[in-house]
């Protein structure tokens, strides 16, 4: 009798143990990843048996790069390299945000790996057990990634770790100092006016005024010249804001600190000076009258009509947009210089030292592993390989070995060019930009640029002649629950108020001199002070504590 009972008890315990272990959310790494490789398997394989992972991503917002598929040489290479087969689900970029939100929320039909919208989404989904916490695997399975960023001196981990110490999604990251938004000047107009690229704000203003004065610079007899424009208001701030002491860049929240005190750039005197300046330009007919409704494709149209004197955008567009100009089309020379890259402008607002903001920040939509994945450790290793394995990086940056590059005698990379003189094209092979977030390297961003010597020279000047400042506030990932709540409550509204008044002040719908205080009051009513308070809290806890 006792024996039977005991046996039953043991069985029950075992069963319970079985059930407990059957929990699909893993209990942590099993030491170093064991790829079960057999003798004869290439070292780079992640598993002896060919495993399949399903990956969800979108096609990317431009049709320039082909959507991910196993037909592309890059992915073929990766499959051979790792022995992991990928089943792609490439969704439309249209409405991808909604797709991700919906699928994460519903928690059904999830792939093994997926591209999500924001780190914030990832955190919420992770808290609810939809995404895998990669923190336990970070040191053991992401060795390549760790090595890569350690060599750069960048604390990548802090960008992806939540306040609770979890890592639910990986972001891409750009090596600092690359692919920046800058001012670009119409080369022909500069020559006609016999002027150089300005290095100070005053020189810049003089140049613009000279352009305006000169009148018919594109020689078509119509007064349609636009001296200064950008792909929208945000782009305008990005290319010239630093001349006014602003730190805001791209989608960074506009907060900065001075002497330990955090302040909102939106309501600062710097911003006021900046907007007044823009308003002046607008009134003089220098700034594009349509600046409020500009976007990248409208900008392209204007440049193609040879109407633009100066614009601000990512530096690589000096090449792309330059090719749209009539002269480029006539000369059929894709390597010519049609727009000249500028440098950061010095002014009395930034102590006469022009600077760019050093972009140590996350880029791209994050990638996460979902809890439907049966092979979490493999997925981690795969991601690590994709991002930072040195050989994979070479292929991603330079193209297929043997076709686009080869290893020189001392092991350095030698770029190979097409025999017919056409521009190098590795993106059609799936190299370069990949549809999962990735690290943007210097090499990748300067890829193919040696065919444009003028660009290389000016790009180098950008990098070396201007100061590269680091932000004076901590980055968003360091926010914790209470601060995040405050952000949730007020951020969208405050940004909205700013956007509205910015447009009104610059385009003369409101008089900045008389209504600035009204604007400040509205910002206050919307919660700007509470937001600043939240940033101050994070600051005190991180940078301030050092």
Partner 1 sequence: MSKNANRIKGSKSDYVLDAIVLTITAFVIIVTLYPLIYVVSMSISDPLSASRGEVILFPKGFSILSYKKAMADDAIWQGYANTVWYTVVGTISSLAATMLGAYPLSRKSFVGRKFFNTLLLVQMFFGGGMIPTYIVVVKVLGLYNSRWAMILPALTSAFNIFIARNFILSLPEELLDCAKIDGASEFRIFTNIIIPLSKSVMSVLTIYLAIGYWNSYFPSVLYHGDSSLHPLGMYVRKMVIQNSILNMGDDAMGGMISAESLLSSLQLKYTVIVIAVLPLLLIYPFFSKYMKKGLMVGSIKG
Partner 2 sequence: MKTKTKTNEPQVKIGLNFWQKMARDWQLWVLSLIPLLYLILFRYLPMFGVVISFQDYKMGAPFIGPKTEWVGFDHFIRFFKNPYCWRYIRNTLSLSVLSVIFIFPAGIFLALVFNEIRIKKIQSAATTISILPHFISVVVIVAMLRNIFSVDGGLVNKVIVSMGGEAIDFMGASEWFRPLYIGSGMWAGAGYAAIVYTAAIAGIDPSLYEAAKIDGANRWRQLLNITLPCILPTIATMLILRIGSLMSVGYEKVLLMQTGSTNDVADILSTYTYRIGILDGQSSYASAIGLFNSVVNLILVISANKVSAKLTESSLW
In this structure, are residues 295 and 232 in contact, taking their beta carbons and an 8 Å threshold? Answer: yes
**Residues near 478 by beta carbon (within 8 Å), at least 6 away in sequence:** 158, 163, 538, 541, 542
Residue 300 binds to partner 1 (criterion: CB under 8 A): yes
Decide if residue 237 touches partner 1 (CB under 8 A): no
Select the residue interacting with partner 2 from 26, 280, 500, 529 (CB under 8 A). Answer: 500
CA torsion through residues 378, 381, 383, 385, sign: negative
- Toward partner 2, which CB reaches closer, 307 or 429? 307
Nearer to partner 1, 181 or 278 (CB): 181
Distance CA 134, CA 136 (A): 6
Residue range at the interface with partner 2 (CB under 8 A); choices 81-89, 102-110, 146-154, 374-382:
102-110
Q: Count the helix, strand and coil residues of the chain and give each as a percent rounded to the nearest 5.
A: 45, 15, 40
Two tokens, residue 171: 């972001």
Neighbours of 126 (CB within 10 A): 24
Mask for 311-330, x = binds partner 1 (CB under 8 A)? ---x-xx-xxx-xx---xx-
Asked whether position 127 contacts partner 1 by CB under 8 A, the answer is no
Spatial strand order of the sheet with 181-186 comes to: 226-230, 308-314, 181-186, 339-341
343/526 with CB nearer partner 2: 526
Binding range to partner 1, per CB under 8 A, among 40-48, 441-449, 494-502, 514-522 = 441-449
Question: Where is 370: in which H helix or E strand?
Answer: none
What gap in Å lies between CA 287 and CA 172, rounded to an integer? Answer: 35
How distant, in Å, are the alpha carbons of 33, 247, 253, 503 from that of 263? 47, 11, 11, 22
Question: Residue 94 burial (CB < 10 Å; 0-12/13-18/19+)?
Answer: exposed
| DSSP-assigned letter for residue 546 | -
Binding window for partner 2 (CB under 8 A); candidates: 85-93, 379-387, 405-413, 503-511 = 503-511
Give the angle subtended at the CA of 142 by the CAs of 39 and 139, to the nearest 5°: 110
Q: Does 396 bind partner 2 (CB under 8 A)?
A: no
Which range of residues in 7-15, 24-32, 101-109, 537-545 is near partner 1 by CB under 8 A? 101-109
From the list 198, 298, 285, the residue with the least C-alpha distance to 239 is 198
Partner from partner 2, partner 1, none contacting 319, C-beta within 5 to 8 A by type: partner 1
Q: Which listed option, partner 1, partner 2, none, makes contact with residue 19 (CB within 5 to 8 Å by class)?
A: none
Mask 42-61, x = binds partner 1 (CB under 8 A)? --------------x--xxx
383 close to 457: Cβ distance less than 8 angstroms: no
Of 232-251, which residues contact partner 2 (CB under 8 A)? Answer: 233
Nearest-approach distance from CB 390 to partner 2, in angstroms: 36
290 scored as a contact of partner 2 (CB under 8 A): yes
Cβ–Cβ under 8 Å, residues 343 and 466: yes
Report how far residue 369's alpha carbon sits from residue 133's, in angstroms, rounded to the nearest whole number: 8
Closest separation in Å from C-beta 400 to partner 2: 37
User: Residue 377 — φ and ψ, nearest 5°?
Assistant: -60, -40
Options 195-203, 205-213, 415-423, 483-491: segment touching partner 2 (CB under 8 A): 483-491
Shortest reach from residue 308's CB to partner 2, in Å: 12
Picked from partner 1, partner 2, none, the partner binding residue 375 (CB below 5 to 8 A depending on kind) is none
| Least distance to partner 1, CB of residue 436, Å | 11
Contact call for residue 179 and partner 1 (CB under 8 A): yes
∠ CA(135), CA(139), CA(52), 5° rounding? 75
Task: Choose which of 85, 191, 289, 407 interacts with partner 2 (CB under 8 A).
Answer: 289
Measured distance CA(25)–CA(374) in Å, rounded: 9
- Number of residues counted as binding partner 2 (CB under 8 A): 41
Q: Where does this chain bind partner 1 (CB under 8 A)? A: 56, 59-65, 89-95, 98-99, 101-103, 105-106, 108-109, 174, 179, 181, 250-251, 295-297, 300-301, 304-305, 314, 316-317, 319-321, 323-324, 328-329, 334, 363-364, 423, 427, 432-433, 440, 444-445, 447-448
Q: Where does this chain bind partner 2 (CB under 8 A)? A: 97-98, 101, 104-105, 107, 117-118, 120-121, 124-125, 127-131, 224, 226, 233, 288-290, 292-293, 488-489, 491-493, 496, 499-500, 502-504, 507, 509, 522, 525-526
């Amino acid at each position: 009798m006792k024996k039977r009972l005991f046996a039953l008890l043991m069985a029950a315990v075992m069963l319970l143990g079985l059930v407990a272990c059957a929990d699909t959310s893993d209990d942590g790494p099993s030491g170093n990843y064991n790829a079960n490789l057999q003798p004869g398997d290439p070292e780079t394989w992640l598993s002896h048996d060919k495993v399949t992972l399903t990956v969800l991503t979108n096609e990317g917002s431009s049709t320039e790069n082909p959507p991910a598929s196993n037909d592309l040489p890059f992915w073929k290479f990766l499959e051979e390299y790792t022995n992991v087969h990928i089943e792609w689900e490439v969704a439309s970029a249209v409405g991808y945000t909604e797709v991700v939100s919906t699928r994460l929320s519903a928690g059904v039909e999830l792939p093994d790996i997926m591209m999500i919208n924001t780190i914030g989404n990832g955190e919420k989904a992770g808290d609810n057990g939809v995404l895998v916490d990669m923190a336990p695997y970070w040191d053991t399975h992401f060795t390549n990634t760790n090595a890569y960023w350690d060599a750069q001196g960048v604390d990548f981990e802090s960008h992806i770790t939540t306040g609770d110490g979890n890592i639910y999604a990986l972001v891409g990251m750009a090596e600092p100092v690359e692919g920046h938004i800058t001012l670009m000047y119409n080369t022909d107009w500069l020559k006609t006016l016999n002027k150089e690229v300005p290095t100070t704000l005053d020189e810049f203003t003089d140049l613009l005024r000279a352009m305006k004065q000169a009148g018919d610079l594109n020689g078509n007899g119509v007064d349609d010249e636009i001296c200064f424009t950008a792909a929208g208001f945000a782009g305008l701030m990005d290319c010239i804001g630093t001349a006014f002491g602003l730190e805001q860049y791209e989608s960074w929240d506009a907060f900065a600190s001075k002497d330990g005190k955090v302040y909102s750039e939106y309501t600062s005197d710097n911003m006021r000076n900046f907007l007044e300046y823009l308003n002046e330009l607008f009134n003089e007919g220098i700034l594009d009258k349509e600046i409020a409704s500009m976007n990248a494709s409208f900008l392209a149209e204007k440049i193609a009509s040879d109407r633009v004197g100066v614009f601000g955008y990512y530096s690589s567009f000096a090449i792309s947009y330059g090719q749209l100009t009539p002269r480029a089309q006539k000369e059929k020379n894709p390597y010519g210089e049609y727009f000249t890259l500028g440098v950061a402008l010095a002014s009395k607002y930034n102590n006469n030292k022009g600077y760019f903001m050093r972009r140590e920040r996350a880029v791209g939509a994050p990638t996460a592993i979902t809890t439907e994945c049966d092979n979490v450790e493999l997925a981690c290793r795969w991601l690590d390989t994709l991002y930072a394995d040195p050989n994979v990086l070479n292929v991603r940056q330079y193209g297929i070995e043997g076709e686009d590059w080869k290893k020189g005698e001392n092991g350095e990379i030698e770029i190979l060019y097409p025999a017919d003189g056409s521009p190098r094209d590795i993106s059609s092979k799936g190299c370069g930009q990949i549809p999962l977030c990735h690290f943007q390297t210097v090499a990748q961003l300067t890829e193919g640029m040696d065919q444009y010597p003028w660009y290389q020279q000016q790009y180098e000047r950008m990098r070396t002649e201007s100061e590269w400042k680091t932000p004076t506030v901590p980055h968003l990932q360091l926010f914790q629950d209470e601060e995040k709540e405050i952000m949730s409550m007020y951020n969208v509204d405050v940004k909205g108020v700013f956007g509205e008044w910015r447009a009104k002040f610059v385009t003369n719908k409101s008089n900045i001199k008389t209504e600035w205080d009204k604007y400040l009051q509205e910002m206050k009513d919307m919660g700007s002070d509470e937001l600043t308070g939240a940033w101050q809290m994070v600051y005190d806890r991180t940078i301030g504590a050092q």
